[in-house]
């Protein structure tokens, strides 16, 4: 079963080469357009949402075609998509007087 691609994947060429056990390398489409495949390959990076977002923020070739407002909106949309607001479950242990099994236990939060 493969993982779902992140929302910035469409702006990058995802290579078959693995950067680690879970992620492949990626190359920016705009870097390929301007520099060519061979030169752009020298600037490959791990295909994670954060790494792709950081690249788009600093890529001069991306900036030629997108305003900073567009870049911010695209990145924000990608970061918001799929993010789960995890509810932290707190265990509540109540100290009861006279209960030796609970002695020393306090409320945790």
DSSP string, the chain: -PPPPPTTGGGEEEEEEESSSS-EEEEEHHHHHHH-HHHHHTT-EE--HHHHHHHHHH-HHHHHHS-HHHHHHHHHHHHHTT---PPPP-------TT-GGGTT-----
Please answer whether residues 82 and 6 qualify as being in contact, where contact means their C-beta atoms are separated by less than 8 angstroms.
yes
Mean pLDDT calculated for residue range 61-82: 89
Mean pLDDT, residues 2-10 taken together: 73
Residue range 53-69: mean pLDDT, rounded: 94
Average pLDDT, the chain: 82
**Paired tokens of 68:** 């900073």
- Average pLDDT of the residues in 15-38: 94
- Distance, in Å, from the CA atom of 42 to the CA atom of 59, rounded to the nearest integer, reads 14
Res. 31: pLDDT tops 60: yes
Nearest 5°: phi and psi at 27? -135, 135
33 pLDDT tier (thresholds 50, 70, 90): very high
Least confident of 4-13, 30-39, 47-56, 95-104: 95-104
Cα 18 to Cα 31: distance, rounded to the nearest angstrom: 20
List the domain range (segments joined by +) for residue 47.
1-109
Residue 9 pLDDT grade (very low, low, confident, very high; cuts 50, 70, 90): confident
Domain total for the chain? 1
Mean pLDDT in residue range 63-92:
78
């Amino acid at each position: 079963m493969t993982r779902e691609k992140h929302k910035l994947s469409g702006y990058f060429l995802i290579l078959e080469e693995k950067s680690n056990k879970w992620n492949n390398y990626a190359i920016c489409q705009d870097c390929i357009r301007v520099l060519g495949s061979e030169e752009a390959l020298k600037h490959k990076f791990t295909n994670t949402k954060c790494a792709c977002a950081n690249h788009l923020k600093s890529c001069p070739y991306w900036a030629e075609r997108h305003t900073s407002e567009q870049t911010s909106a695209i990145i924000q949309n990608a970061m918001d998509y799929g993010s789960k607001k995890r509810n932290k479950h707190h265990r509540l242990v109540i100290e009861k007087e006279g209960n030796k099994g609970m002695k020393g236990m306090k409320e945790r939060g």
